[in-house]
Amino acid sequence: MITRNECLDWDQHDPLKNFKNDFALPKDVIYLDGNSLGARPKKSLTLAEQVITQEWGQDLINSWNKADWWGLPTRVGDKIATLIGAAAGETVVSDSTTVNLFKVLSAAVQIQADSDAQRKVIIAERDAFPTDIYIIEGYIDLIQKGYVLKLIDSVAELESTLKHNDVAVVVLSHVNYRTGYFYDMADINRLVHQHGGLLIWDLCHSVGAVPMDLKKTDSDFAIGCTYKYLNGGPGSPALLWVNPKHQNQFKQPLSGWWGHQKPFDMAQSYTPAEGIRRYLCGTQPILSMSLIEAGVDIFLASDMDQIRSKSLKLTDLFIDLMQQECADHEFELITPTDYRHRGSHVSFRHTHGYAIIQALIARGVIGDYREPEVLRFGVTPLYIGYCDIWDAVQQIKQVMQHEEWKAPQYQIRGQVT
């Protein structure tokens, strides 16, 4: 039997416990949705004030140089680089993950077409975050070159599809948004490369959640959100990383002036910038992008291995407590128990998942719901402790024992679920 006192003890001995003070969280809320929208770093307010009143208010247009707004996409990119195993100058922050996928997909397809035009298959996961599939479909329709999308359901299917040696590009989520399944980056890169493919990693549910080394594992391309585990703020622009071996090999098709070699020459034709800046497109949302630093700086003051180790203990605790306290209530765990394949959230399937999540939110436990029937609880070790997990599971137990989820108001679907 696990007790609340044990959880208290683990909290007291937690080397990361003080990081919670860096976040502004509402009282009486246990926030288990930092994998969807990260909590607000306290510093974001002073940073926003500085950008709005000083940089914009006082220095006006001079801030492009004076505050180096121009360099912000690569400055923030270089900070994120340390969390993903990249060197300086390889990562840029810009646009959304969705748009960035379009850019790197185009790049990868073009590189492959230049070396082996017979490769016409693009692989994605059936269970991918749907925007990835939509973008691949849209891209294939746009270019009209006979590419086909093949959806796979497992690593075994990935392997058997690759064996035909007609795969150009593979797009995979490093950690699956629904189940939390976590790929071994080195193994998968090796497998895809052995069969002549290029790989794009979607890091949305892994950056800031698990340690990784894009360079050492010989990855090709990566994209990912900054508003999830990195706590960059709602809709903050996304990261894009390219292995330097691919960087100057092609142009990306969203060839806007910000990716031009000399934007202020106002030249009449496009010449891409050298290096990662060619992935920029138009003028960046400076306010939103500035705030990413507040979130990333907290990570830089912490330690990714400690974060991983605490994340695994927290997800273990969640799984064990659900077994101990809620075994009668028909929750089916769909997150892998194997550490090698577990990300930083825990998901359960339940027929009444949607209503249960609504009843939990009313009790101050914020998780979320994903079709079909999945309750998802994000674990963010910088601001979630062991007692939080204990208390959350007790609330789940209450909701189930008293059948609170049956109340009519919990059946109503909002525009965003």
Rounded to a whole number of angstroms, the minimum distance from the CB of residue 177 to ligand PLP is 4
Tell me whether residue 270 is annotated as binding: no
DSSP 344: S
Fill in the DSSP letter of residue 208: T
299 marked as binding residue: no
Is 257 a known ligand-binding residue?
yes
Angle formed by the axes of helices 185-194 and 155-162, nearest 10°: 20
Query: Residue 41 is inside which H or E element, if any?
Result: strand 40-41
Q: Does 309 bind ligand PLP (CB under 6 A)?
A: no
List, in sequence order, every beta strand (DSSP E) within 190-284: 198-202, 221-224, 238-242
Task: For residue 129, indicate whether it is catalytic.
Answer: yes
* DSSP 8-state secondary structure symbol assigned to residue 119: -
Q: Which of 91, 97, 252, 358 binds ligand PLP (CB under 6 A)?
A: 97
- Asked if 133 touches ligand PLP (CB under 6 A), the answer is no
Kindly indicate which of the ranges 96-104, 110-118, 250-258, 341-349 contains the residues binding ligand PLP, using the contact rule CB under 6 A. Answer: 96-104
Q: Is 66 a catalytic residue?
A: no
Nearer to ligand PLP, 139 or 386 (CB): 139
Sequence-distant (6+) residues with CB within 8 A of 53 are none
Q: How far apart are the first and last CA of the chain?
A: 35
- Here the tokens at position 310 are 């605490």
- Residue 173 binding ligand PLP, by CB under 6 A: yes
Piece in contact with ligand PLP (CB under 6 A), picked from 125-133, 156-164, 179-187, 362-370: 125-133
C-alpha span between 177 and 203 (Å, rounded): 10
Q: What is the DSSP string of 270-292?
A: --BPSGGGGG--S---HHHHHHH
4 is catalytic: no
Q: Does 59 count as an annotated binding residue?
A: no
Residues between 178 and 217 with contacts to ligand PLP, criterion CB under 6 A: 202, 204-205
Binding site per annotation, positions = 97-98, 129-132, 202, 205, 227, 257, 283
Active site residues: 129, 202, 227-228, 376
Instruction: Please report, as ranges, the residues that interact with ligand PLP according to CB under 6 A.
Output: 96-98, 129, 131-132, 173, 177, 202, 204-205, 225, 238
